[in-house]
Amino acid sequence: MKVIVNARFLTQAITGVQRFAIELSKRLESTPHIQIEFVSSKGIIHSDLAKELDVKVIGQFQGHLWEQIDLPIYLKKNKSPLLVNLCSTAPSFYKNQIVTHHDITYIRHPESFSKKFVEFYKLIVPLMLRNSKKIITVSEFSKSEISNYYNVSKYKFTVIYNGVDTNEFTNTEAKNVSKRKYILAVSSRNYHKNFQGLVDAFKNIQHIQQDVDLFIVGYSSLKSFNEIKLDVEDLEKQGRIRFFGRIDDQELISLYQNASLFIFPSFYEGFGIPPLEAQACGCPVIASDQASMPEILGNSVLYFNPYLKKDLEEKILYFYNNPQLKQQFTESGLKNIKRFDWKSSAKILQEIVRF
């Protein structure tokens, strides 16, 4: 049996969606009795991974045009084998395929994206969901959201959780990154990530919790956050806030390991990998109580309601005023991450591909 994997993710910067595709692809390659072929457009930016997966570059186009034109043509020339798509888009009309859709953030929070992006997804997603044998998503929450919004039977879905590479996070020696305590937050630059809420909360408690700074990883500045202007100049002048752009895994692990607290303030998430990475590094977590967060984090974190402005402020102060919480949530976090590993997730995918 021959299976084609859509490896367009190798042409994209790595966020949670691409991480999901990469980790499962590396493990799918060893599926017994199945010939796996990875195909991509030109423009690959992760050459080492492409070499590891022995990726075949096909077609003339790139991006969505490649996925909608070149890829289906290639499949048809090769007797229409099963196609596995592990990112959020796929050919619209190819029927012998498994598609993945992580969430419908573009519906619930369209302000996080360009109008062109939202309109394209609204056009393509219902078509690819309809023309698929199976739909993969990353949480029961997302399964319900996608199924209800697009009126697709829940029986067509399989939930495959993201994993955490605990060896990488626990076996890396921590490097000291700050002489002061700091709160850490990690995310991409989108409105629904609610980093404006985190910054506002920190500004309101900075005079009370004077021994703690705020570190934000994911981009270099929040001064211009989509169309929302944030006033962080006072915090920057005082050295109380520090912005990081994209950093490598070793730097990120050191930040996780040295943080006194990790905060995940999102309004909406289909899954949410960063709080699990923090937990793998032994860092206690305060998280939003919205969307998939209760499903993924269970009772291992301190929750707050991101729509109640004072709630995050109160939870941060409560955490630092009760030193025993650090040990409590560190231990519960380490227990929680045992539920999520790439090997188990890959086994589910292998079973879907076989049948």
Instruction: Identify the structural domains of the chain with CATH numbers, from first to last.
Output: 2-163+341-354 (3.40.50.2000), 166-339 (3.40.50.2000)
Q: Under a CB-based contact definition with an 8 Å cutoff, are residues 137 and 149 in contact?
A: no
- Check: CB of residue 129 under 8 Å from CB of residue 308: no
Dihedral sign for Cα atoms in the order 139, 123, 19, 132: positive
What SS3 state is found at 215? strand
Please give the Cα distance from 100 to 89 (Å, whole number).
Answer: 7
Phi, psi of 288 (to 5 degrees): -60, 145
- CA dist 231 and 257 (Å) reads 29
pLDDT at 231: 65
Question: Residue 146 in contact with residue 129, Cβ under 8 Å?
Answer: yes
CA–CA distance, 3 with 126 (Å, rounded to integer)? 23
Distance CA 349, CA 354 (A): 9
Q: Which residues pair with 303 in a beta bridge?
A: 287
Strands 224-225 and 228-229: antiparallel
Residue 171: is it exposed, middle or buried by C-beta count within 10 angstroms (0-12/13-18/19+)? exposed
What is the predicted pLDDT for the residue at 237?
Answer: 67
Distances, alpha carbon 41 to alpha carbons 38, 87, 107, 263, in Å: 11, 15, 28, 37
Helix (H), strand (E) at residue 348: helix 342-354
pLDDT of residue 243: 87
Per-position pLDDT tens, the chain of length 355: 899 999 999 999 988 899 999 999 999 877 888 899 999 999 999 999 999 999 999 999 999 999 999 999 999 999 999 999 999 999 999 999 999 999 999 999 999 999 999 999 999 999 999 999 999 999 999 999 999 999 999 999 999 999 998 887 776 676 778 889 999 999 877 899 998 899 999 999 999 999 999 999 975 554 444 545 556 777 876 778 888 877 888 899 999 999 999 999 999 999 999 999 999 999 999 999 999 999 999 999 999 999 998 999 999 999 999 999 999 999 999 999 999 999 999 999 999 998 7
Nearest to 86 by CA among 341, 319, 345, 269: 345
pTM: 0.94
Angle at CA of residue 32, ends 26 and 33, nearest 5°: 125
175, 123, 168: which is closest to 273 by C-alpha? 168
Q: List Cβ neighbours of 11 (8 Å cut-off, separation of 6 or more).
A: 40, 41, 43, 44, 45, 62, 63
Side chain identity at residue 260, one-letter code: S
Determine contact, residues 187/278, Cβ cutoff 8 Å: no
Does the CA dihedral 72-73-74-78 come out positive or negative? positive
Residue 297 near residue 285 (C-beta atoms within 8 A): yes
Convert 6-22 to b/e letters by CB count within 10 Å (16 or more is b): bbbbbbbeeebbbbbbb
The per-residue b/e assignment along 209-240, b for 16 or more CB within 10 angstroms, e otherwise, is beebbbbbbbeeebeebeeeebebeebeeeeb
Instruction: Name the residue among 135, 70, 127, 61 with its Cα closest to residue 93.
Output: 127
